[in-house]
Chain A
Amino acid sequence: SQKIEQNSEALNIQEGKTATLTCNYTNYSPAYLQWYRQDPGRGPVFLLLIRENEKEKRKERLKVTFDTTLKQSLFHITASQPADSATYLCALAPGSAAGNKLTFGGGTRVLVKP
């Protein structure tokens, strides 16, 4: 069966450092992968999308890599700030032919300490 794994342990990091989160998947051939941010009691908010033929995507202090051979995506937050503290979810999709249905990982909680 399809499985998406994110580190369930919280990531504690000092302000100014780079946080790196991992998303691994098995039995899946995604057309694209997305990363979302979720604050407690709120709905997820879209951050970045990377397609299967792309290696890297950047947006401000965020960087996502996608390795379809390793079946892994890495999500980096550079120069982290306390406001970056949240849970980050990765999500995979088979493509628009399937209604762009997303399968989410369990999320990794990030805590940035001042």
Chain B
Amino acid sequence: SQTIHQWPATLVQPVGSPLSLECTVEGTSNPNLYWYRQAAGRGLQLLFYSVGIGQISSEVPQNLSASRPQDRQFILSSKKLLLSDSGFYLCAWSPRGRETQYFGPGTRLLVL
């Protein structure tokens, strides 16, 4: 069966520090991958999605970036965090050609 992992689960970072969140998927190949952010009490905002290695589409201009160095690995990064980057970050995957998305456990980021 397929499994999606995210780490860390919780992160507290000072303003201006770098960020690296990792997401890996097991038990499937060539998935579509997605990064979302959820502010407290709000819906999910799509940040990036990828249909293949090295193929990243950005949905929202911001100081975040994403990379997909391997088929089942998706990384969210920032060089300098802002207070507004605080939130709940969710990685998701979907089988190629299918519509359902499967979400990871999320990373709660607090920027102070």
Q: Which residues of A contact B (CB under 8 A)?
A: 4, 6, 32, 34, 41-46, 49, 89, 91, 93, 96, 99-107
Contact = CB atoms under 8 A, between A and B. Distances in A.
A62 B32 CA distance: 27
Given A32-B99, A34-B99, A100-B99, A106 B42 contact: yes
A96 to B, nearest CB: 6
Most B Cβ at <10 Å: residue of A44, A46, A106, A107: A44
B105 A42 contact: yes
A103 B57 CA distance: 15
Interface residues of B, number: 27
A101 B49 contact: yes
Contact of A44 (B44, B51, B59, B108): B44
Contacts of B94: 100
A43 B49 contact: no
Given A41-B106, A44-B103, A46-B101, A100 B32 contact: yes
Contacts of B43: 4, 6, 89, 104-107
A99 B46 CA distance: 12
Given A99-B32, A105-B43, A43 B99 contact: no
23 contacts: A4-B43, A34-B99, A41-B106, A41-B108, A42-B106, A43-B90, A43-B103, A43-B105, A43-B106, A44-B90, A45-B103, A46-B100, A46-B102, A49-B99, A96-B97, A100-B32, A100-B94, A101-B46, A101-B59, A102-B34, A103-B46, A104-B44, A104-B46
A97 B13 CA distance: 37
Contacts of A42: 105-106
